Structures are given as structure tokens and as C-alpha cells.
Amino acid sequence: MATATAGRLRIPSEANTAAWFFLAPALALIGIFFFLPVAAAMLLSLTDFDLYGIANPGNTRFVGFENYSRLLRTPDFWLALRNTFYFAFVGGPLTIAVSLGAALLLSSKLVRFKGVFRTIYFTPFVTTLVAVAIVWRYLYHSRYGFFNYALSYFGVGPIDWLGDPHWAMPAIILMAVWKSFGYNMLIFIAGLQAIPEELYDAAAIDGASPFRRFWSITLPMLSPTLVFVTVITMIGYFQLFAEPYVMTQGGPLRSTTSVVLLMYEEGFRWWRMGYAAAIAFVLFIVILLATLVQFRLQKERA
């Protein structure tokens, strides 16, 4: 057996052609509807295309990286980035912790009516965000809202949830956690069910405490699920838009303006498409970096 490619699979060239043939439709679709627009947006971000440019293409200038350099010099952008990080790095872990907690409770043998609770916890996820946000706006009302009413029983003075620049983001995070933990919870439940019961039995015989069992069995066995949930949640949270759009319009004092909201305003309210495209690419890079860091951390732990 003197083949040079020992250990590597040799694919006959006809099969290769066939593979391309089968892949072609999907590749064409992705190319036309994904890579092409992305490339176009990339070009757009290097121009000052705006309302005047729509009127007359001659009013558009190629400006190189000026949009990017202006963006990096704009305090509003850094504030939006800070807000987005705040939301993702406080809201993200919180959502994961709450959903894991709920999943553990619902997987416990002591809990009855599991189906009912699962449905209840999952309901917020399938409701319309805009409608929910409007209801929450009432709950947060500083004078008539339920939260302040409940807090007043504990002697806590009224909090101006959506009107105080310090409280607005926590208020949005709280709502977002409530809204999205149900989905992660279901995935965690599925992950928990895949852990063989024998491991727990063996650990119990060895005298491991419940906490030890969670730390040494549940968490490691759940880690692929955890990676998936973390990455998906983070990517979703970096794209924060609808909650502040409906509840605060980015205020007060821009304390809830996220990068996507900023992009929406520049692009679709003021029609500065070139600038908005630059924001989109910066956000893309930020999300890409954050995801790579997460994969890296997970790999190191594994």
C-alpha cells in the first residue's frame, strides 16, 4: 500500500464536482442575499451617502475611513457602546444564572406540575416584545407603577425607574431577563436530561454533597450547553434595540441608547446611511471579538 495520501481521505474528482453541484443553490443564495449585501454595506461605510446622495448620486463622496474615525471621536458612540456592554455583561450572566436556576428547580424530583411551570416560565419568551414593553412601562411608572407600590411596603421610597439615568438600564435589564430566560431554561432542561443518572448515584454513594454534585457533575456535563447558551445570549444582547426603543427611546440622558439604536437613528431617522453602515461594522467586530474570547475561555477550561 504505497499511497502518498495515507491517512487522508481521497475524494475522486467526480464526487467533488457533484458536491459543488449540490452546494451551489445554497451557496448562490447565501452569496446573493448575504455576502453581496455585506460587501455593499462595507463600501457604503466608506462613503458619506445620505439624503442628499439619494437626491443626486453626485452628492456622495468617497471618504475613506472618515466615518470610522468620526465615530470613534463621538462621545455618543462610546456612551452607546458602554450601555451595550453594561446590558450584555450584566444582563447576559444574570439571564443565564436565572435560567439555569429555573432549569435545576424544574428538573428536581421534588417539584410537581412541571409542565405547568415550564409553560408559565416560557410564556414571556413567546409574547410580543412591544406589547410587553408597554405593560412594563406601566409597572415601572414612578407614581402609579406596581414596583414602587410593592416597594413602599418595605419602606423604600419611590424609584424613578425609567426617568433616572442610573435606574433606567437596570430596569431594562430586569425586563429583558424576565422576557428571555424561558428559552435558555428549556435548553438547560434538555441538557440536564442528557446527564446519566448513574453519575449522581455514584457520587451520592461516595458521599458527595449536593453542591459538590452540582459543581463536579452537572456543570462539566452541561458545559457544551452552557457554551451554546452563553454565545447565543451574548450575541442577542449585543443587539439590544427594541426594549429601549419602546420604553425609553434611548433616554434619559441617552443612558439606554444602545449601539443598534444609535445605528437605527443615524440610518433610518436621519438617513445618514454611510455613517450608519460604519456603526454596523464596528458592532460586528465587537460581537466577533466577544464571541472569540468566549470560545477561548471555554477551551481553556475544558
Partner 1 sequence: MGREGEVVSELIPAFERQNPGIRVQVQQIPWSAAHEKLLTAYVGEATPDIAMLGNTWVPEFVALDALEPLDARVARSSDVVRSDYFPGIWSTNVVEGITYAVPWYVDTRVLFYRTDLLAKAGYDRMPSTWAEWRTAMVRLKSGMSARQYPLLIPITEWPPPVILGLQAGSTLLRDNGTYGAFSQPQFKKAFDFYIGLYRDGLAPALSGSEISNLYQEFERGNIAMYISGPWQIGEFTNRLPKSLQDKWMTAPLPGIDGPGVSLAGGASLSLFRRSTNKEQAWKLMEYLSRPEIQLQFYKLTGDLPARRSTWRDSSLAGNRHTRAFREQLDRVVPTPLVPEWEQIATKVFEHGEQAIRGRKSVEKALAALDSDVDGILKKRRWLMEKQKAGSR
Is residue 230 part of the contact set for partner 1 (CB under 8 A)? no
Interface positions, 280-299, toward partner 1 (CB under 8 A): none
Site string for partner 1, 53-92 (x = CB under 8 A): -xxx--x---------------------------------
Ramachandran category for residue 140: left, alpha or beta (phi over 0 → left; psi -120 to 50 → alpha): alpha
Our measurement of the distance from residue 51's CA atom to the centroid of its chain's CA atoms, rounded to an integer in Å, reads 31
Is residue 264 part of the contact set for partner 1 (CB under 8 A)? no
Q: Measured between alpha carbons, how far is 220 from 214 in angstroms, rounded to an integer?
A: 9
Contact in structure between 94 and 184 (CB atoms under 8 Å)? no
Q: Which of 18, 253, 285, 292 binds partner 1 (CB under 8 A)?
A: 253
Q: Which of 30, 268, 285, 295 binds partner 1 (CB under 8 A)?
A: 268
Q: What are 129's three cell numbers? A: 416584545
Instruction: Pick the closest to residue 249 from 270, 264, 271 (CA basis).
Output: 264
Interface positions, 29-58, toward partner 1 (CB under 8 A): 48, 50-52, 54-56
Q: Measured between alpha carbons, how far is 35 from 37 in angstroms, rounded to an integer?
A: 6
Interface positions, 121-140, toward partner 1 (CB under 8 A): 137-138
In angstroms, what is the minimal distance from the CB of 141 to partner 1? 5
Our measurement of the distance from residue 298's CA atom to the centroid of its chain's CA atoms, rounded to an integer in Å, reads 18
Is residue 144 part of the contact set for partner 1 (CB under 8 A)? yes
Is residue 220 part of the contact set for partner 1 (CB under 8 A)? no
Cα-Cα-Cα-Cα torsion 292, 295, 301, 302, nearest 10 degrees, comes to -140
DSSP string, 147-181: HHHHHHTTTPPP--TTTSTTTHHHHHHHHHHHHHH
- How many residues bind partner 1, per CB under 8 A? 28
Is residue 167 part of the contact set for partner 1 (CB under 8 A)? no
Q: What are 178's three cell numbers? A: 424576565
Q: Of 98-106, 217-225, 230-238, 266-274, which part binds partner 1 (CB under 8 A)?
A: 266-274
Establish whether the linkage from the previous residue to 224 is cis, with ω within 30° of 0. no
* Residue 50 or 80 with smaller CB distance to partner 1: 50
DSSP string, 231-253: HHHHHHHHT--HHHHHHTTT-ST
* Residue 165 or 210 with smaller CB distance to partner 1: 165
* Residue 70 or 118 with smaller CB distance to partner 1: 70
Instruction: Pick the closest to residue 278 from 61, 80, 54, 66 (CA basis).
Output: 66
Interface positions, 94-123, toward partner 1 (CB under 8 A): none
In angstroms, what is the minimal distance from the CB of 69 to partner 1? 13
Q: Which of 88, 95, 141, 230 binds partner 1 (CB under 8 A)?
A: 141
* Residue 44 or 247 with smaller CB distance to partner 1: 247
* Residue 22 or 78 with smaller CB distance to partner 1: 78
Contact in structure between 226 and 214 (CB atoms under 8 Å)? no
Residues forming the site for partner 1 (CB under 8 A): 48, 50-52, 54-56, 59, 137-138, 141-144, 162-163, 165, 247-249, 251-254, 268-271
